[in-house]
Copies of this chain bind each other. A is one copy, B any other.
Amino acid sequence: MPDAEPLAEPLRSRWSPMVFDPGHEVTDEEVATLLQAARWSPSWGNTQPWRLGVAKRGNGAHRALVAHLTRGNSRWVPRASVVFLAGTQVAKDEEGNGPDEPTYSYYDLGQAAAHLTLQARAMGLHAHQFAGFDHEAVAAEVGLPPYVRLVSGIAVGVPGDPGLADERERAKEDRERVRRPLADIAYGDAWGVPWC
């Protein structure tokens, strides 16, 4: 990805591996630092709608997640050292606090996920976000209140032996990373007129 070359670390080397090392463990201190990265994200009116479940091998949140992954994700997600269940407050809680509608709840959760992901990269870890799991079943098992919606999982770990991957995963892992041309996403004076 030559046009990512001007980017600063930890952005420049960020990508989403699918083959994590199943023997690697993160410490509680590392998990805490990743959570702090999400916590210090900016948000609309500093509302901080994000809520993060820590799913580590052996705990209940991890069991709930692993039981409800899609078939494709059930191969690679369990190899991650830790998975964050990323939820966000989309409606008012029992006390009437919270948003009227969820647009900025999703936007701000995305920001928090990005901060966590980039902090992971700065710590020598990699993150791979995914949405393929039965959100309602996991939410029910971990006891999520109705005003918090589970949006994604953020798998964190270190890359593992490529031999662990099946053929389909290896093809995904090896494919070139692509993005739309800048001219298709960035506009100047008027929408549709490329910025550059």
Contact = CB atoms under 8 A, between A and B. Distances in A.
Interface of A: 1, 3-4, 6-11, 14, 16, 28, 31-33, 35-42, 44, 46, 48, 50-54, 59-61, 87, 102-104, 106-111, 113-115, 117-119, 122-123, 129, 131, 142-145, 148, 151-152, 178-180, 182, 185-192, 195-196
Contacts of A38: 185
A159 to B, nearest CB: 16
Given A40-B4, A40-B179, A51 B131 contact: no
A113 to B, nearest CB: 6
Given A48-B180, A103-B106, A119 B42 contact: no
A9 B152 CA distance: 25
Contacts of A59: 188-189
Given A53-B186, A102-B103, 16 more contacts: A4-B40, A8-B123, A11-B118, A14-B40, A38-B185, A39-B179, A39-B180, A39-B185, A42-B117, A48-B179, A59-B188, A59-B189, A61-B187, A87-B191, A107-B152, A110-B114
Contact of A113 (B32, B53, B111, B189): B111
